[in-house]
Amino acid sequence: MAPSVLSRRKFLTRSGLLGCSLAASPLMTPVSLAAAPWDQRLVVIILRGGMDGLDAVRPYGDANFAALRPGLLAPSQPSGHDLDGFFAMHPDLGELMPLWHQGELGFVQAVSTPYRDRRSHFDGQDLLEAGTMGLGQRRDGWLNRLLQLQSGVVARTAFAIGHGDMQVLHGAAPVSDWSPDADLALSPQAEQLAGLMMQEDPLFASALSEALALSRSSVELGSMAGGDEGTQDMAEAMMEMPRAAKGKAHLKLAEFAASQLRGETRIASFSLNGWDTHSYQKRGLGAALKRLSDCILALKQGVGPSVWDRTAVVAMTEFGRTVRENGTGGTDHGTGGTMVLAGGAIQGGKVYGRWPGLGEAALYNRRDLMPTGDVREVAAWIMRGLTGTGQSDLENQVFPGLQMGQDPGFLR
């Protein structure tokens, strides 16, 4: 936004219309901000639907691989980007190659949650976010339990972003939630009157002033470009039925996350959907990977170099997919999968994990990649490094029943 343009919000603030409600918000008063309990940033992206890790990070060096994926790896298809002589990245992740070379991008292969056999998205995601050994053991999520262990946590310390339910952040610790397309577009008059209406009800008053403040930060991100010039546009926007953003919604999530992480937020989490590639995987997975790649790049750009150096992005999915391609150019629900790690805090340039091989006998149930590691272990070591949380707390509280083993050194 050019400095000469007087934005609607600035105008409102100057003209005093926003003054009282915003001043009342604890979030707008810098002195009330507690020092964040740690300095590093963690972004957890839940890839819902089951990402095919064998197509995202292709083990082309495994002698059995090509025969399992005749259609997906046909000679007519663009081949991937070689990583280390054994694994190659999907063609649509190409924009991340510079990060790989700078050591800011890594992967973990053949990992899973403890979930086995039923292969339901619903249960698989529940377990992924609960972080427990079995289903139904905890109702809160593991990121929230991490927060419960820290002192100095305020609502803004962690952000659940988007409309999807981020079970991973549910629980007793305070957490903020917001979706960039939740922007409150009210005419100046309506805004003032709404403030007046809610003034005497603290729950409503604080939610309103925070919603207005968050909408303002979105406006600064440019998500309402063109809408902040005149009150006529405002009035029209105000009368539109609220609906979830379409199109480049994923970029807005990442940009919003970055804008918060530049400030006092230390944890941000959101979901990316569209990984359930039962058919035409070439098209579907490529688009999903492109969205993931866009998000990682938007986070990097959005937080800026100094925060990026202290940032770890962890993308995880409820399960991997069958090693064999199915009859409709796709893959079905499997077991062992892949995690994506990015950020300046990550010791990248490496595909982590113990490779189980793709021979018939090495497979899980003779159909899926055998998990040789636990996604929770990866998350636990990263949180250990970023937040300094003790190993026994991670093994007993955050991920009850987990044994972390040796530090694989995911962080710099």
Partner 1 sequence: MIFDPELAEIRFGCGLSPGVAPVASRDEMLMRLRGHDDAAEQFPIAETEEILISVRRFAELRKLNRSKRGTPEAKQAQKAFRRFRRAHLKQRDLHFRQLLLRHITTQDGFRERLALFWADHFTAKGKNRAMKPLAYGYVESAIRPNVTGRFEDLLIAALSHPLMLHYLDQFRSRGENSALNKRQGGRGGLNENLAREVLELHTLGVDGPYGQQDVRQLAELFTGLSYRIESGFLFDKRMGEPGSETILGQSYGGAEPELAPVLQALRDLARHPATADHIARKLAVHFTKDQSDPDLVAHLAAAYRASEGDLMQVYAALLDHPSAWDDVLANVKPPFDYMASACRGLGVNPEQLAGWGAKPIRRNFIAPLRLMGQDWQSPVGPDGWEEADSAWITPQGLSARLRWAMAAPRRMVKPLPDPVTFASQCLGARANQRVQFVASAAETRAEAIGLVLSAPAFQRR
C-alpha distances in Å from residue 301, one per residue of 81, 216, 259: 23, 20, 10
**Residues constituting the chain:** 412
CB of 349 to partner 1, least distance (A): 38
Asked whether position 280 contacts partner 1 by CB under 8 A, the answer is no
The Cα–Cα gap between 96 and 165 comes to: 28
State which of residues 16, 200, 226, 392 lies at the interface with partner 1 (CB under 8 A).
200
Given 235, 249, 297, 411, the residue binding partner 1 (CB under 8 A):
235
**332 forms part of the interface with partner 1 (CB under 8 A):** no
Does 201 interact with partner 1 (rule: CB under 8 A)?
yes
Q: Which listed residue (33, 66, 207, 287) binds partner 1 by CB under 8 A?
A: 207
* Angle 51-53-56 from CA coordinates, rounded to 5°: 100
CB 79 within 8 A of CB 88: yes
Binding to partner 1 by residue 217, rule CB under 8 A? no
Residues that contact partner 1, how many (by CB under 8 A): 47
**In the complex, least distance from residue 23 CB atom to partner 1, rounded to whole angstroms:** 17
Does residue 411 touch partner 1 according to CB under 8 A?
no
Decide: is 246 part of the binding site for partner 1 (CB under 8 A): no
**Residue 144 binding partner 1, by CB under 8 A:** no
- Residue in 9, 69, 156, 170 binding partner 1, rule: CB under 8 A: 170
Beta carbon nearer to partner 1, 247 or 327? 327
Which region among 54-62, 178-186, 260-268, 380-388 touches partner 1 (by CB under 8 A)?
Answer: 178-186
Q: Which two tokens stand for residue 120?
A: 């339901």
Does position 16 bind partner 1 by CB under 8 A?
no
Report the 10 Å Cβ neighbour count for 139: 9
Contact between 159 and partner 1 per CB under 8 A: no
Which residues face 47 on adjacent strands?
272, 317
x-or-dash string of contact with partner 1, 113-142, rule CB under 8 A: -------x-x---x--------xx--x---
* CA neighbor of 226 nearest in space, from 8, 3, 4: 8
The nearest distance, CB 224 to partner 1, in angstroms, is: 13
Told to check if 394 binds partner 1 by CB under 8 A, we report no
Q: Which of 198, 269, 183, 194 is nearest to 228 (CA)?
A: 183
Buried b (16+ CB within 10 A) or exposed e, 142-160: bbbbbbebbeebbebbbbb
3-state SS record for 283-299: HHHHHHHHHHHHHHHHH
Single residue of 182, 249, 297, 411 touching partner 1 by CB under 8 A: 182
- Comparison of 59 and 141: residue with beta carbon closer to partner 1: 141
- Which residue's CB is nearer to partner 1, number 185 or number 268? 185
* Binding flag, residue 172, partner 1 (CB under 8 A): no
H helix count then E strand count, the chain: 14, 12
Q: Among 54, 88, 208, 254, which residue sits at the site for partner 1 (rule: CB under 8 A)?
A: 208
Q: Is 221 in the site for partner 1 (CB under 8 A)?
A: no
Piece of the chain touching partner 1 by CB under 8 A; list 5-13, 77-85, 195-203, 365-373: 195-203
Does the protein bind partner 1 through residue 260 (CB under 8 A)? no
- Of 20, 149, 238, 411, the one binding partner 1 (CB under 8 A) is 238
Region from 106-114, 146-154, 161-169, 356-364 binding partner 1, contact rule CB under 8 A: 161-169
From CA 181, how far away is CA 206, in angstroms rounded? Answer: 20
Q: Does residue 271 come out as left (phi exceeding 0), alpha (psi in the -120 to 50 range) or beta?
A: beta
Q: Cβ neighbours of residue 314 under 8 Å, at least 6 residues apart?
A: 42, 43, 44, 45, 339, 340, 341, 378, 379, 382
Distances, alpha carbon 213 to alpha carbons 9, 107, 218, 249, 383, in Å: 9, 37, 9, 20, 30
Token pair recorded at residue 145? 């339990």
Task: Note the residues at the interface with partner 1 (CB under 8 A).
Answer: 120, 122, 126, 135-136, 139, 163, 165, 167, 170, 176-179, 182-187, 189-190, 193-194, 196-198, 200-201, 203-204, 207-208, 210-211, 214-215, 235, 238-244, 327-328
